[in-house]
Amino acid sequence: MKKTTLLFYLLCFIISQVLISCSTTKIDNPEISISEVESHIKYLASDELKGRYPGTEGDQLAAEYIAQQFQDFGLQSFEANYLQKFEVITSIKAGESSSMEFNGEKAALKKEFIPVSYSENTSLNATLCFAGYGFNIDTDKVKWNDYSEIDYKGKWVLMLKGEPEIDSLKSPYMKYAADRDKVMLAKDLGAGGVLFVSGPAYARRDMLPEPSRRIGSTGLPVFHISRELANKLLEKENKKIEELESALNKNRKPMSFNIDININGSSVIEQQTANTYNVVGYLEGNDPNLKDEYVIIGAHYDHLGMGGKGSSSRKQDTIGVHSGADDNASGTAAVIELAEKFAAQKQNLKRSIVFIAFGAEEMGLLGSKHFVDHMKMPANKVSAMLNMDMIGRLSADSSLEIGGVGTALEYDELLNNQNKFNLATTTEGYGPSDHASFYGVDIPVLHISTGAHLDYHTPEDSFDKINSEGLKMVADFVFDLASEINERDKQLSFQEAGPKTGTVSRKRLGVTLGIMPDFAGKIKNGLRADFVIEGKPAFKGGMKKGDIITAINGQSIANIQDYMYRLSKLKFGQTITVEVVREQTKKVLIIQL
């Protein structure tokens, strides 16, 4: 009898320990609650996290906080501790070893010269020439070639920033005035390096700005120099920058000349990198035929940190915590609450649901791009991606903006079933948030937002302005929508709804190849086509997803900025050659625009 009793208690003890070890779920309140939403936002938007800038301690704390919530709810993880790590460039600066010497004199770094953000890390020892505004324009309205009368091959080229009609909105020179475009032209012509100087008409204060963000290298050493230094270089020619700028602006014709002086310059741009994360958890579906299909619910958790010059803050002169309560602690809080509610009902799920808090959205959708590039499931198995970005300012008339409605045949039907909001819908799948990365690989998307406001990207986007009740309403709406998508017998039907690249770049380029380029710039010395749109010039010319573009019409492309510059020079109907690398093999494609 005693032996039986002992075995019984031992068995009970073993069972209890197994149950304890397996029961990691901590769901206090499975419903989406105002108090929990507020608790999440208060922490994520707190001064302690200092604006959640990617790669900072606050960013790390935010990611760990979200991961802990996912663990508490019993979500499964694709990565260790729910954290999908990737690297970002957090800052760049002029390297202290940058140098510039002439006539035995050393120029002072950051006082007399500084390398610009797109300068190549390289050196050049060569003579100098002055090339006005650095133009080579030949149109019906304007003919201006600053290079025709000088010897510039392999030399330093000194040129003015801006253009002759800097204050005119109708200036015919405006489209040729971008600094980087001028450098690319100089490079194509065979110049060795570029020195920029600001005349007083362009900038009253002669300042040398520190590089703030890395823009793909042009392959040349490029310095911004002070007017005082420029005038030293012009002494033998008995000329001054102020006079040259004034004459060029008045006469509107080249005044280029060679300068008998040798410059030995070395450009060094140092960039700091850091790790940041996507926080990813999932609940596996229960239907044996549908559990390998997915619904993705996401929002970015990063923000602008302390703001300041070079950031995306709308108050560039203000250094302070940009707490991003609405952008996008609000969407992140909703993702957490939705994960909790679905976890409490996971036995009812047909499809699997993935919850993602994206990092580095403010840097250019880097987190969502990284996730899409390394997805653990086939894109054609994702039924929908629902993205929440700024859902904390629901107005009194309950207006809710939803983009991407045209990306699935069934979205109109699904959205017509709701009556909580006044919906303002758009069909296009591309937009300035993380859903765009998923639309690029043919996944139906919805972008859900309560809209922009005057506090957007300022320190005033604070917790006290959040409409918590409205946020709960939006989160409940997303829960109902995701549930309905999850329970459907058939997967949503993707359809293309608008281009897969941004409208700004299309306006700038004029013509397009019809690709979605790799905006993150992961490929060096080339630009990867992340998607090739059927029926567009690139598709017709034989380009394929993953092709790395290295040249257009024989002119090199090292990054997306080079690509944009090259396309800006092309015309509709033109036939061009595009050099690509496909699976380590070089190919030349003939494409008609």
453-469 pLDDT, tens digit each: 889 999 999 999 999 99
DSSP 3-state of 324: coil
- pLDDT digits 0-9 by tens, 122-155: 999 999 999 999 999 999 989 999 999 999 999 9
Using CA atoms, how far apart are residues 160 and 511, in angstroms rounded to an integer? 29
Is 576 in the same domain as 472? Answer: no
Domain boundary among 212, 236, 267: 267
- pLDDT digits 0-9 by tens, 370-407: 999 999 999 999 999 999 999 999 999 999 999 999 99
Q: Which domain holds residue 112?
A: 99-267
Is 334 in the same domain as 460? Answer: yes
In this prediction, what percent of the chain has a pLDDT beyond 70? Answer: 93
Confidence of residue 100 (pLDDT cuts 50, 70, 90): very high
- pLDDT of 14 reads 41
Confidence of residue 540 (pLDDT cuts 50, 70, 90): confident
Q: Are 464 and 328 in contact (CB under 8 A)?
A: no
Residue 162 has pLDDT above 60, yes or no: yes
Is 459 in the same domain as 561? Answer: no
Domain boundary among 238, 267, 296: 267
Is 431 in the same domain as 400? Answer: yes
Mean pLDDT (the chain) is 90
Confidence of residue 255 (pLDDT cuts 50, 70, 90): very high
Residue 357 CA to chain centroid, in angstroms?
16
- pLDDT digits 0-9 by tens, 468-499: 999 999 999 999 999 999 999 999 999 999 87
- pLDDT digits 0-9 by tens, 282-317: 999 999 999 999 999 999 999 999 998 778 888 888
- Determine, yes or no, domain membership for 12: no
Domain boundary among 250, 267, 284: 267
- Determine, yes or no, domain membership for 139: yes
Is 203 in the same domain as 283? Answer: no
- pLDDT of 3 reads 45
CB under 8 A, 24+ apart: contacts of 183-187: 183/118, 183/218, 183/220, 183/222, 184/218, 184/562, 184/565, 185/134, 185/136, 186/131, 186/134, 186/152, 186/157, 186/159, 186/220, 187/218, 187/219, 187/220
Is 168 in the same domain as 123? Answer: yes
- pLDDT digits 0-9 by tens, 19-47: 333 345 677 788 999 999 999 999 999 99
- Determine, yes or no, domain membership for 500: no
- pLDDT of 444 reads 98
Is 243 in the same domain as 323? Answer: no
186 token code pair? 């100089």
Is 199 in the same domain as 308? Answer: no
- Determine, yes or no, domain membership for 356: yes
Is 157 in the same domain as 254? Answer: yes
Question: In Å, what is the CA distance from 471 to each residue of 49, 66, 333, 334, 452?
Answer: 22, 18, 9, 8, 15
Is 169 in the same domain as 210? Answer: yes
For the segment 317-332, the average pLDDT, to the nearest whole number, is 95
- pLDDT of 27 reads 76
- Determine, yes or no, domain membership for 494: no
* Number of C-beta neighbours around residue 199 at 10 A: 23
Is 245 in the same domain as 302? Answer: no
- Determine, yes or no, domain membership for 211: yes
- pLDDT of 472 reads 98
Confidence of residue 5 (pLDDT cuts 50, 70, 90): very low
Is 232 in the same domain as 132? Answer: yes
Block residue for tokens 């957090």: 90
Residue 501 has pLDDT above 70, yes or no: no
- Determine, yes or no, domain membership for 14: no
- pLDDT of 523 reads 78
For the segment 498-518, the average pLDDT, to the nearest whole number, is 64
The enclosing domain of 552 has a CATH number of 2.30.42.10
Residue 436 has pLDDT above 60, yes or no: yes
The enclosing domain of 219 has a CATH number of 3.50.30.30
- pLDDT of 9 reads 43
DSSP-derived letter for residue 210 is P
The enclosing domain of 315 has a CATH number of 3.40.630.10
Domain count, the chain: 3
Question: In Å, what is the CA distance from 451 to each residue of 55, 249, 274?
Answer: 27, 44, 31
- Determine, yes or no, domain membership for 29: no
- pLDDT of 502 reads 54
- pLDDT digits 0-9 by tens, 58-84: 999 999 999 999 999 999 999 889 999
